């Protein structure tokens, strides 16, 4: 750290790195000092687009981690590289922010939890959806008692098509199609991590998970694990589900992935709707509350990139104040347990009871 700034090294300058860069570029607590990607030309073009073309690029992770002028690494690699690179980053003494999912399976997760909990520097698994402003607003309203006690969460993931979506390079889909690299399916395990994180955030750890997982052709010939329904039971007679539906002929408005998400949380006294995620089905308000015959809407910022900005800001503030990062390695393992139980349930054709 120089002065009061964390010197940041980004490992993996792929699709999602653009949204991670936003807060590191604007927050006075941080400064991007290096980017590592085996595709150096791509890393340079990212740096040019971010307005910092003179920052050094390195193709080799080991050489990058040996740099003493990097305090914090942001690991944005394919999932099979998460465990080895995170372990190396800790061995090199770096502060670590590791994109979700923490790794490809629970055996790897156990190794990572043990290493992170024995480590004397901060370690975070990056999960942005719980920092999405409409989600923060819903959480604030729930904490104020707006819907009474939450009894049920209903989450809908709805990939579709979009003329306004950003470009996803074929290389970003290629590794996701290999189970050994991705760990699980693109919608249940990979994107599903965010949805299970939401369920965990609002309802806590589930005690039982039951799933039907479909298989269909997605864009570019990719297999999509849709249409799928995953049901959860939480302690105290509370329930939830995640429904994943691919609508190939439905046009969405989005600046990011061709997908939308919707969440409905029903409590003892009211209902909260989070009406959008990556994209928009029309001009719905980001958050709607129903209570006592009244509908109240909340016009909070709903650009999806804000979830990345606020997740990173929370981490930088936690580093300054000594607060806990979100997610900790143990929390991330709980979310991973949730998504791997869904895949296990569909594979074995039975409900999976969980002990955390
Ligand atoms: N939070 C979210 O909403 C969100 C959205 C998309 C992706 N992600 C996560 O971000 C991570 C990256 O996903 P992506 O979509 O940006 O993937 P990507 O394929 O676009 O980017 C990965 C980058 O890693 C580089 N790379 C691969 N192997 C390497 C190696 N050995 N050494 C150095 N560089 C190497 C590739 O060249 C590529 O630029 C994944 O964990 C993914 O799940 C999260």
Question: What is the distance between the alpha carbons of residues 2 and 7, in angstroms, rounded to a whole number?
Answer: 7
Structural contact between residues 77 and 87, judged by C-beta atoms closer than 8 angstroms: no
Question: What is the distance between the alpha carbons of residues 200 and 205, in angstroms, rounded to a whole number?
Answer: 6
Q: How large is the greatest C-alpha to C-alpha distance in the chain, in angstroms?
A: 62
* The predicted structure's pLDDT at residue 302: 87
* The predicted structure's pLDDT at residue 355: 81
Question: What is the distance between the alpha carbons of residues 237 and 211, in angstroms, rounded to a whole number?
Answer: 19
* The predicted structure's pLDDT at residue 311: 98
Protein residue closest via CA to atom 6 of ligand 1: 16
Structural contact between residues 238 and 151, judged by C-beta atoms closer than 8 angstroms: yes
Quote the ligand 1 centre to 14 CA distance (angstroms). Answer: 5
Task: Note down pLDDT in tens along the chain; length 356 residues.
Answer: 656 699 999 999 999 999 999 999 999 999 999 999 999 999 999 999 999 999 999 999 999 999 999 999 999 999 999 999 999 999 999 999 999 999 999 999 999 999 999 999 999 999 999 999 999 999 999 999 999 999 999 999 999 999 999 999 999 999 999 999 999 999 999 999 999 999 999 999 999 999 999 999 999 889 999 999 999 999 999 999 999 999 999 999 999 999 999 999 999 999 999 998 888 787 789 999 999 999 999 999 989 999 999 999 999 999 999 999 999 999 999 999 999 999 999 999 999 999 86
User: 170 in helix, strand or coil?
Assistant: helix
Quote the ligand 1 centre to 54 CA distance (angstroms). Answer: 22
Enumerate the H helices of 245-328 as residue ranges: 305-321
Quote the ligand 1 centre to 42 CA distance (angstroms). Answer: 12
Token pair in block for residue 143:
């904490």
Element (H, E) at 44: helix 40-49
Protein residue closest via CA to atom 9 of ligand 1: 99
CA 138, 139, 141, 147 dihedral sign is: positive
Q: Can you identify the CATH homologous superfamily of domain 6-127+308-326? A: NAD(P)-binding Rossmann-like Domain (3.40.50.720)
- What architecture is the 130-302+339-348 domain classified under in CATH? 2-Layer Sandwich (3.30)
For the CA of 168, the closest atom of ligand 1 is 20
* The predicted structure's pLDDT at residue 1: 64
Domain chopping of the chain, boundaries? 6-127+308-326, 130-302+339-348
Enumerate the H helices of 150-222 as residue ranges: 170-174, 179-182, 192-203
Is the whole model's pTM more than 0.75, yes or no? yes
Q: List all residues whose CB is within 6 A of at least one atom of ligand 1.
A: 12-16, 36-39, 42, 61, 76-79, 81, 99-100, 128, 171-172, 190
* The predicted structure's pLDDT at residue 284: 87
- Choose one of 11, 13, 14 to mutate for the ligand 1 pocket test, by most ligand atoms within 8 angstroms of C-beta: 14
Quote the ligand 1 centre to 354 CA distance (angstroms). Answer: 30
Quote the ligand 1 centre to 125 CA distance (angstroms). Answer: 14
């Amino acid at each position: 750290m120089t002065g009061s700034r964390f010197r940041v090294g980004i490992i993996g300058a792929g699709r999602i790195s653009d949204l991670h860069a936003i807060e590191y570029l604007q927050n006075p607590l941080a400064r991007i000092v290096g980017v590592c990607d085996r595709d150096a030309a791509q890393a340079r073009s990212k740096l040019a687009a971010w307005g910092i073309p003179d920052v050094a690029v390195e193709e080799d992770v080991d050489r990058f981690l040996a740099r003493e002028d990097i305090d914090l690494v942001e690991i944005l690699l394919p999932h099979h590289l998460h465990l080895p690179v995170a372990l190396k980053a800790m061995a090199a003494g770096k502060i670590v922010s590791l994109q979700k999912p923490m790794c490809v399976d629970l055996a790897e997760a156990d190794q990572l939890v043990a290493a992170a909990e024995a480590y004397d520097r901060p370690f975070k698994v990056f999960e942005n959806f719980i920092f999405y402003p409409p989600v923060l607003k819903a959480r604030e309203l729930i904490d104020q008692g707006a819907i009474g006690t939450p009894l049920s969460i209903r989450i809908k993931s709805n990939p579709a098509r979009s003329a306004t979506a950003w470009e996803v390079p074929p290389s970003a889909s290629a590794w996701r199609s290999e189970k050994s690299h991705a760990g699980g399916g693109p919608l249940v395990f990979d994107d599903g991590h965010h949805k299970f994180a939401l369920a965990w955030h609002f309802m806590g750890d589930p005690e039982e998970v039951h799933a039907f997982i479909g298989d269909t052709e997605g864009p570019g010939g990719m297999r999509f694990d849709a249409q799928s329904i995953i049901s959860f039971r939480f302690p105290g007679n509370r329930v939830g589900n995640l429904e994943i539906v691919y609508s190939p002929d439905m046009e969405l408005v989005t600046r990011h992935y061709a997908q939308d998400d919707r969440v409905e949380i029903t409590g003892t006294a009211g209902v909260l709707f989070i009406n959008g995620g990556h994209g928009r089905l029309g001009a719905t308000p980001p958050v709607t509350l129903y209570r006592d015959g009244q509908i109240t809407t909340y016009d909070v910022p709903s650009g999806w990139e804000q979830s990345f900005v606020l997740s990173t800001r929370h981490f930088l503030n936690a580093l300054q104040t000594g607060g806990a990062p979100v997610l900790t390695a143990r929390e991330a393992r709980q979310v991973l347990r949730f998504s791997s139980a869904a895949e296990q349930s569909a594979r074995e054709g039975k409900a999976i009871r969980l002990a955390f």
